Structures are given as structure tokens and as C-alpha cells.
Amino acid sequence: MIRSSIIKNAYFTSSHDGDIKTVLKDIKSDLNFAEMKQTHSSDVKIINSEGIYDSDGIETNSQDLPLVVRVADCIPILMQSNNLISAVHAGWRGINNSIFEKSLKNHNFKSLKISIGPHAKECCYEVKEDLKQLFPSSTIELNGRYYLNLRKRIEDFCKRENIELEVYNQCTICDDSYYSYRKTSTPHRQFGIIWQ
């Protein structure tokens, strides 16, 4: 398990860490949490109680309510500013439909910290012409093949706005400690977890 070095209560699990209840018991010792029925949408919901929400981003200013995002190659994004936190699920559809920008809307940029957990990286994330055209400045060409750096728009934005960002090195496709839907069509997911 990775613990964020810039956000106080933010974690990213690997395939070794067990299910969400096991993980929460280990790191927090209570089992309430909010999560999402993720559909690669760009919907972000403001919430204040535990449950399962139809969206791909949730945010709360509630104290002590963990937000959980489930991923296996998509980007798990955890955010904190002042007393607001967010958990976001971002695949290429979500990024293309501006889920990152939508999830920023209520945050104070001056105090915003963003942590990006393990996801499919440009070492392995081969895409076809259609995605290359959607993400021209995020695609690398190597020996006639295209590879996507899906977080590049986020990195560029944070650099431009001077927002503190951490990105973990692990790639879910080539690091066997992580579930990869692309590699194995696994039904399992790892988690990003944040609370305040």
C-alpha cells in the first residue's frame, strides 16, 4: 500500500492488500465509506454520507468520511483543498469529457493538493489512431506504435496553475502487484482512499 506524502489521509492499495473492508480496518479501524458505481462518465457528485453514488467523482467536506475509487488501469485521483476532498475515476473517456476539470470546480487552487495513484502508463498503454487523435499531445510514437500518457493534461494543468501534484511511478500493466484490466480482464480492482 502507498501512503501519500502530500495529503494526510490518502492511500493507494495494490492487489496484495485485500478487499476494501480489510484495508479500511487496517488503516482507519472503522468501516463506513462512500464509493461510486463508476461508468466512465464525467459526473462528479457532492456527498455527505456513506453509500454508493452513480458518478465517477465524489467530493465531500464531511469530516471522517472516507471516499473510495476503484481502478484497474484507469487513473485514481485524490484531491484535497482546505476542508474539501475528492476521489475521481479517470479513464480516457472521463478525461476526454473533462472529469478532471469538473472535479476542480469547488476546490481552492491555492491550497489544492493532488495525488495520482498507479495506472496504465505510457510504457505499456498502447492505443490506436482514434485515441491518438483525441489526445495528440499526450501520445508518444515509438516504432510505429502509439502510447498514451493519460495523465499529461493533469500534469500540464498543475504546472500551469502551480498546484502541488504527486504521481506514483507504478504502471498497473507492467507491475504485477496491480490489477490490470487490459492485461488480464480481471474483475478485481485496487483502491484509492481519502478522508479528512
Q: Which residues bind Zn ion (CB under 5 A)?
A: 121, 123-124, 171, 173-174
State which residue, 44 or 173, has the beta carbon closest to Zn ion: 173
Question: What's the closest the beta carbon of residue 131 comes to Zn ion, in angstroms?
Answer: 17
Tell me the torsion sign for CA atoms 186, 90, 6, 21.
negative
State which residue, 20 or 127, has the beta carbon closest to Zn ion: 127
State which residue, 52 or 142, has the beta carbon closest to Zn ion: 142
State which residue, 60 or 180, has the beta carbon closest to Zn ion: 180
Question: What's the closest the beta carbon of residue 25 comes to Zn ion, in angstroms?
Answer: 31
Question: What's the closest the beta carbon of residue 175 comes to Zn ion, in angstroms?
Answer: 7
Whether residue 146 contacts residue 126, with contact meaning beta carbons closer than 8 Å, is answered with yes
Could you please report the per-residue DSSP string of 60-88? E--TT--EEEEESSSEEEEEEETTEEEEE
Whether residue 38 contacts residue 94, with contact meaning beta carbons closer than 8 Å, is answered with no
Question: What's the closest the beta carbon of residue 138 comes to Zn ion, in angstroms?
Answer: 16
